């Protein structure tokens, strides 16, 4: 299960009375990679100019750009949505951008897995070229839909791991199926 979640960029952290679900990106993306290579090149050039010409202007600019880049990465890491399942309070806590929203387990109607065809692509090394957006959602009595997991899949039918996640969440929120006391 952890390999499946890791492949789709999620981590589950378990505590004594809670479970924290967090989107965890292992990479920062191609735009960040390009930007980082430009910043590193600029820093190397500015060091060269500083030591040969004694001009600290470019060095100062590259330090400021690097600091701005690191602050942006930290902001993106901090702003990731986290869902905490608190077993003692029997509630979901959705933590995003420093704000918390609370939803009680008893308000849950259903836990479902949805699939939506989002297109196809060209590939010589895959059996299928179709892509599906798969979401695991929690439906509440007041009509609110909370997306717990969202991932891209190559398969029309949900993977066994997706079904296991739905069953796991269902056991947590439904009193008659609950595993803890």
Question: Please, are residues 152 and 122 in contact by the beta-carbon 8 Å criterion?
Answer: no
Low-confidence ranges of the chain (pLDDT < 50): 181
pLDDT at 181: 43
pLDDT at 179: 53
pLDDT one-digit tens code per residue, 123-169: 555 666 778 888 999 999 988 899 898 888 877 788 888 899 899 88
Using CA atoms, how far apart are residues 19 and 84, in angstroms rounded to an integer? Answer: 6
Q: Is the pTM of this model over 0.75?
A: no
pLDDT at 111: 92
Each residue of 111-136: b (16+ CB within 10 Å) or e? bebeeeeeeeeeeeeeeeeebbebbb
Tell me the CA distances in angstroms from 25 to 6, 22, 69, 75, 130, one per residue in order. 9, 10, 17, 14, 23
């Amino acid at each position: 299960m952890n390999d499946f979640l890791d492949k789709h960029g999620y981590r589950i952290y378990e505590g004594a009375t809670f479970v924290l679900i967090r989107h965890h990106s292992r990479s920062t993306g191609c735009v960040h990679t390009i930007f980082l290579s430009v910043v590193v090149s600029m820093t190397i050039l500015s060091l060269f100019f500083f030591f040969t010409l004694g001009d600290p202007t470019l060095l100062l600019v590259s330090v400021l750009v690097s600091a701005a880049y690191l602050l942006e990465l930290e902001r993106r890491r901090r702003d990731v949505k986290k869902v905490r399942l608190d077993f003692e309070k029997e509630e979901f806590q959705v933590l995003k951008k420093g704000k918390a929203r609370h939803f009680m387990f008893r308000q849950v109607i259903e836990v479902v897995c949805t699939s939506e065809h989002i297109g196809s692509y060209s590939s010589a090394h895959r059996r299928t070229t179709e892509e599906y957006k798969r979401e695991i959602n929690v439906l509440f009595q007041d009509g609110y839909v909370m997306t717990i997991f969202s991932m891209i899949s190559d398969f029309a039918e949900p993977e066994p791991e997706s079904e296991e996640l739905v069953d796991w969440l269902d056991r947590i929120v439904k009193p008659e199926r609950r595993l803890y006391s």
